Amino acid sequence: MELSEELLRNIEDYLEGKLLAEEKRAFELRIEAEPALKEEVAAQRRLKNALEVIKTKERLKQAYTEYEEATKVRPLNRPVWQTYAVAASVIGLMLGIIYFGTDIFKPDSEIAFNEFYQPEANARGECPQELPAFSLYEEKQYEDALAAAMTQKDDSTHCVRYFVGINQLALAKLPQAIQSLQIAQTSPNPSIRRKAEWYLGLAYLRDNNEENAEKTFKAIVERNESENPYVQPAAKILNRFFK
């Protein structure tokens, strides 16, 4: 896609966490609506992470060089304690880099979410009744779709809670989405249960709750239902981000 200076700046601000809440939500909605932009953001994120890895390796290399210099033959006019103090400070620096630098090697839940999240393709097929909100959701008008769904008298049913949950997820209303999808996950309808479980795992990812995300995807894989289309995607997430 053609990248203007403004768009590149928006991507950079998004990845650096500089956007305001409303700006971030608007940009994420645009990412979901534009596959080329979604791919570009993922590529820029991978590049950013790779550069962080390189910087960390360089800092480790420099720290180790300083450590070696500090532990070479001690000049006659330097007290022993000074040599040990220099060595200790450099070792402390190395440990600090290793400890805090490991964050960049952890599974990037945001990368995983952006790569695997797709809006529900057949939300209306799960409910026996025709909800006015379905067409709004398909048009990616998530705020209006959510408002319409919340007016349903039987909004406690698993079908409606599922539909509410996927709209909340699309709007990054994560605590609400997780709660709604947890309810929908208990549905006796296998199709609703499977979809709710998949989107619940993605909601955990987007909320940076990697522990519950991993548990949810493992449950999908271990159950290994032949009719479940989310078994393979869940396995891919586990293999790529949670090894």
Q: What is the DSSP string of 142-153?
A: HHHHHHHHHT-T
pLDDT for the residue 221: 95
135, 163 Cβ separation under 8 angstroms:
no
Q: Is the pLDDT of residue 202 over 90?
A: yes
CA-based nearest residue to 126, from 154, 152, 161, 153:
161
- Tell me, what's the pLDDT at 101? 47
User: What is the per-residue pLDDT for 138?
Assistant: 84
pLDDT confidence of residue 203 = 95
- At 87, the pLDDT band (50, 70, 90 cuts) reads low
- At residue 107 the predicted structure's pLDDT band, cuts being 50, 70 and 90, is very low
Quick one: pLDDT at residue 197?
Answer: 96
In the chain, pLDDT over 90 holds for what percent of residues? 28
Give the model's pLDDT for residue 153: 57
Percent of the chain at pLDDT exceeding 70: 72
Mean pLDDT confidence for 115-141: 77
Q: What is the mean pLDDT of residues 15-40?
A: 84
- pLDDT for 99 equals 47
Backbone angles phi, psi at 146, to 5 degrees: -65, -45
When the pLDDT of each residue in the chain is averaged and rounded to a whole number, the result is 79
| Highest mean predicted confidence (pLDDT) among 81-85, 130-134, 148-152, 214-218 | 214-218
How is residue 208 annotated by DSSP? T
Q: How far is CA 149 from CA 17, 142, 159, 161, 171, in A?
A: 31, 10, 11, 9, 14
Q: What is the pLDDT of residue 199?
A: 96
Nearest Cα neighbor of 137 from 113, 170, 97, 110 is 170
Q: How far apart are the first and last CA of the chain?
A: 33
Instruction: Report the range out of 20-34, 77-91, 127-141 with the highest average pLDDT.
Output: 20-34
